[in-house]
Amino acid sequence: MKNLKPIVYGMAFLAAAGLTQCKGHEEKPATETTAKMDSVSITKSSFGKTAKGEAIDSYKLKNAKGMEVDVITYGGIITHLLAPDKDGKLADVVTGFNDIAQYEKPNPYFGALIGRYGNRIGKGKFTIDGQSYQLPTNDGPNALHGGPEGFHRVVWTAEEAKGGDVASLKLKYVAKDGEQGYPGNLTVFVTYTLNNANELSVVYEATTDKATIVNLTQHTYFNLTGDFNQTILDHEVVIDANEIVPVDATLIPTGKLEKVDGTAFDFRQAKKVGKDIEAKEDQLIKGKGYDHCWVLNNQGRGVRFAASAYDAKSGRLLEVFTDQPGIQFYTGNFLDGTLPQRNGGTYGHRTGFCLETQHYPDGPNQANFPNTVLKPGETYQTQTQFKFSVK
């Protein structure tokens, strides 16, 4: 697989922290346990059972500053993320539900790990080495986010790890040859690590026994106000990209890249999400707002700044760093007030945004896009960091 970069920051980050295995998922009792780890902690509790009777666990990673990230073994979903505002007040800045039953109902991938292939594949078809594959189509004529039973709906095994000042959770899932239409048994590891600098890193690794396609990402919806009754339109966003991947009416890339200069898609300088979102531009009309992959600058240079979002009222700043070539900025255009918030009310139109670091949509069918084929003997390794601060 070309375009694979060694894990520079993430592994150094973990090694420097002297991460060692703490407790295996299988060996732990079902009751709540807390492993105190210097200034960070990991707490495990039960998140109930799926309709099929699978036990789901929830892990709370907490750092010395009080920042918390909760992850469940169903879909590797981030269910809560508490980040401080400029007065040090913590608020939950991600969408989430109270129970597993709600996560099992159809929802737009709240907080979930996405795979085997993030975003769309045109007509669900692709070819590797002359062999054609047909995926289930679950988004009009196209395949979206790994299929109806993608990685967002499977149960991952979890292993906690501890280090001096980081708390880490390593999730594992083995997708079978033919699962959701994809070839090859794919072994996937995703490690969430929280440190005391309020950085959450997500490291993805995968290996296969047959040539396949891989594009993993994280689908958390953020609202830095911490108030999901407010839209995200006042957030000031920066995206370090000179181009986007334009799409057709079914949100499949046309194959060309388009300069952001002079368009609503220019976020090279901080701009409020709402400033141009209603502009009468063809791409905005097709996406019903922003729902596009930006072609990140500085490709091939390892982990670098990709994007940021800032809420002036709370002072919360989220910065995203990645080694990936693209970032899907999605402004919650399909949130429609039907899904329940945790504390009453519903998630309305554009009350959350996603910054999904990834390869470009439909990569397997676009000769000019970076390669997304993973072959036996290769290791897929990528990483993304979400850094929270205030200004």
Numbered residues of the known binding site: 119-120, 219-221, 291
Quick one: CA dihedral 187, 22, 221, 290, positive or negative?
A: negative
Maximal CA-CA distance, the chain: 58
Contact 166, 9 (CB under 8 A): no
Query: Which whole-number Å values give the CA distances from 4 to 114, 147, 207, 389, in the listed order?
Result: 19, 24, 13, 29
Cis peptide upstream of residue 116 (ω within 30 degrees of 0):
yes
How near is the Cβ of 217 to ligand BGC at its closest, in Å?
Answer: 8
Closest approach of ligand BGC to the CB of residue 288, in Å: 9
Residues paired with 107 in a beta bridge: none
**Please, which residue, 38 or 336, has the CB nearer to ligand BGC?**
336
Q: Tell me the closest approach of the beta carbon of residue 82 to ligand BGC, in angstroms.
A: 24
| Shortest reach from residue 23's CB to ligand BGC, in Å | 33
Cα 188 from Cα 173, distance rounded (Å) = 5
* CB-nearer residue toward ligand BGC: 59 or 117: 117
Residue 8 CA: distances (Å) to CA of 303, 380, 384:
7, 14, 11
Q: Which residues are annotated as a binding site for beta-D-galactose?
A: 119-120, 219-221, 291
How do 316-322 and 326-330 pair as beta strands?
unpaired
Which of the residues are catalytic? Answer: 219, 356
Whichever of 236 and 291 has its CB closer to ligand BGC, that residue is 291
Closest CB 332 distance from ligand BGC, rounded Å: 8
| Contact residues for 329 (Cβ-Cβ < 8 A; gap 6+) | 237, 239, 267, 290, 291, 292, 294, 307, 353, 354, 355
Residues lying near ligand BGC in the complex (CB under 6 A) are found at: 108-109, 119, 251, 291, 328, 330, 334, 354, 356
Judged by CB, which is closer to ligand BGC: 210, or 288? 288
Angstrom CA distances, 223 to 125, 306, 371, stand at 35, 18, 32
What's the CA gap between 96 and 81, in Å, rounded?
9
> Looking at beta carbons only, is 219 or 316 nearer to ligand BGC?
219
Q: What is the 3-state secondary structure (H, E, C) of 147-191?
A: CCCCHHHCECEEEEEECCCEEEEEEEEEECCCHHHCCCCEEEEEE
Measured from the CB atom, is 152 or 316 closer to ligand BGC? 152
In angstroms, give the least distance from the CB of 117 to ligand BGC: 12
Handedness of CA 145, 198, 380, 257 (dihedral sign): positive
d(CA 380, CA 373): 9
